[in-house]
Amino acid sequence: MNNNSVTVKALRYDTGEPVVVTIADGCIRSVETIPDASRRPLAELWIGPAFFDVQINGALGKAFGSPNVTFEDIAEIVAECRRHGITRLCPTLITDSEANLKAALRRLSRAIAEDRGLEAALPGIHLEGPYISPLDGPRGAHPRMHVRRPDWEEFQRLQDAADGRIWLVTLAPELEGAIRLIERLTASGVVVALGHTAASGMQIRDAVAAGARLSTHLGNGCAAMLPRHENPIWEQLAEDRLWASLIADGHHLPPAVLRCLLRCKTPLRTLLTCDASVLAGLPPGRYRVWEQELEIVPEGKIVVAGTPYLAGSWVFTDHCVRLAMQLGGATLKEAVDMAAIRPRQLLGLSISWLEVGATADLILFRFDEQGLPHIVETFVAGKSYPAAEGIETARENL
């Protein structure tokens, strides 16, 4: 057997079956079911597909869109994500000037092109804005000075700067020219999401007819006060052709709202995203980010200082998986699928995870006393990364 091979004994997250998995040269070489299906205690090791988050802005004070971000910073963000079970993500750039966006896209594209590990970790870029609502509330933490109308020619310049790596665009469909832009983006192979919007029902329906496929962090990026019947949340919930990403971090969506959104969209049309802020993982305090002051409050949420407006999340996708179970009522399989399988399906990527020949992008985890999963180890193309929480690695080498 290859000297670099690793053998893992664990329970499958989707069936509970005990399996022995052999990993070598970055791929899964064998999967054997152990003929012992007796019930096991919570302390047993479990195995599942690694997470894919479509919306991560940065972490540890480093932002993908920062003019000062370096190759090392980008690699550090990716490494931190891996410690939370995220092996693939869409680096997300928010509303900014065209010059700044082009510069950020060039930096990202250059880093991805020069490193095969980053190329695998960052397969496509998420452009969140600048074509969003200028209104307070729907705009969220995006700088108002750079919000503007949809512009196909500008987008083409941005896509050129990204070397074609923009895969996902979030926009507000009520803006002049938005529907035509959605049609053009869709025709070019870019996935269009609706978000940071105050759109009417008709405008949302027109956007879906034009090709929009996702609601970005549904339930957030909207007005704080809405009409009880006619509002963009209900309209997007009712539209089965729209999938939804949800931020299940315990702050962006109250438990009752999270449960209702999940029941309506169902886990088959829902993605979990942490929407990690540039401040994710930093200690509480005030920080200058995105041309404004943001604050990490002691309870672990990030707000625009002096306002109730959230500005991304302080946690990562593994935390959202736990809260989707604890607060949202999702099963283990549903929660992991929403964080690992659904994003890949939305973007048209392979969803094979425990098949011979598949890339060994895997998570190993255990359950705590509350019955919630905590990652102990992440495999990225067969390479091991220890968990962020410092739980002792417990795979069995047979």
Question: For residue 244, which of 263, 223, 225 has the smallest C-alpha distance?
Answer: 263
Separation of alpha carbons 191 and 216, rounded Å: 11
Task: Give per-residue pLDDT as tens, 39-52.
Answer: 555 568 999 999 99
| Alpha helix stretches (DSSP H) within the chain | 71-82, 98-114, 116-121, 152-161, 178-187, 201-210, 232-238, 255-265, 317-326, 332-346
- What is the percentage of the chain residues whose pLDDT exceeds 70? 94
pLDDT in the model for residue 394: 42
In this structure, are residues 378 and 362 in contact, taking their beta carbons and an 8 Å threshold?
yes
**Do 341 and 267 touch, CB atoms closer than 8 A?**
no
Q: 4 pLDDT band (50/70/90 cuts)?
A: confident
CA dist., res. 108 & res. 93, Å (int):
10
Q: What is the pLDDT of residues 208-238, one digit of tens each?
A: 999 999 999 999 999 989 999 999 999 999 9
Contact 394, 45 (CB under 8 A): yes
The pLDDT score that the predictor gives to residue 198 is: 97
- Are the CB atoms for 56 and 90 separated by under 8 Å? yes
Q: CA-to-CA distance for 7 and 263, rounded, in angstroms?
A: 38
Q: What is the pLDDT at residue 141?
A: 86
- Adjacent-strand bridge partners of 197: none
Identify the architecture of domain 6-48+353-386 in CATH: Roll (2.30)
Q: What gap in Å lies between CA 293 and CA 24, rounded to an integer? A: 47
Tokens of 332: 């283990």
pLDDT at residue 392 in the model? 42
DSSP state of 113: H
247-265: per-residue pLDDT in tens?
999 999 999 999 999 999 9
Once rounded to an integer, what is the mean pLDDT over residues 273-293?
Answer: 90
Mean pLDDT over 149-156 rounds to 98
Tell me phi and psi for residue 254, to 5 degrees: -60, 155
pLDDT of residue 1: 45
CB 7 within 8 A of CB 20: yes
Token readout for 75 is 């690699």
Which whole-number Å values give the CA distances from 59 to 128, 276, 291, in the listed order? 17, 7, 17
Res 11: pLDDT? 95
Region of poorest pLDDT, from 152-156, 256-260, 297-301, 359-363: 297-301
pLDDT band at 398 (very low <50, low <70, confident <90, very high): very low
Domains 6-48+353-386 and 51-346 share a fold: no
Instruction: Pick 117 or 2 by higher pLDDT.
Output: 117
CATH dotted code for 51-346:
3.20.20.140
Alpha carbon distance 88, 95 (integer Å): 23
Q: Which value, to the nearest 10 degrees, does the dihedral of the CA atoms of residues 5, 9, 15, 16 take?
A: -160
Per the listing, tokens 């609706």 go with 194
Residue 394: both structure tokens together: 């417990």
Instruction: For residue 267, give the 3-state DSSP assignment.
Output: helix
Q: Which residue ranges make up each domain of the chain?
A: 6-48+353-386, 51-346
> What local confidence, expressed as pLDDT, does residue 312 receive?
86
**Per-residue model confidence (pLDDT) at position 62:** 95
pTM, two decimals, is: 0.94
Mean pLDDT over residues 65-74, rounded?
Answer: 94
Q: Which of the residues 73, 249, 275, 318 is marked catalytic?
A: 275
Mean of per-residue pLDDT scores for the chain: 93
DSSP character for 381? Answer: T
**Confidence check: pLDDT of 291 > 60:** yes
Would you state the pLDDT for residue 315? 96
| CA pair distance 288, 310, nearest whole angstrom | 15
Give the least confident one: 56-70, 162-176, 291-305, 314-328: 291-305
Q: Is 275 designated active site? A: yes
Q: Is the pLDDT of residue 98 over 50?
A: yes
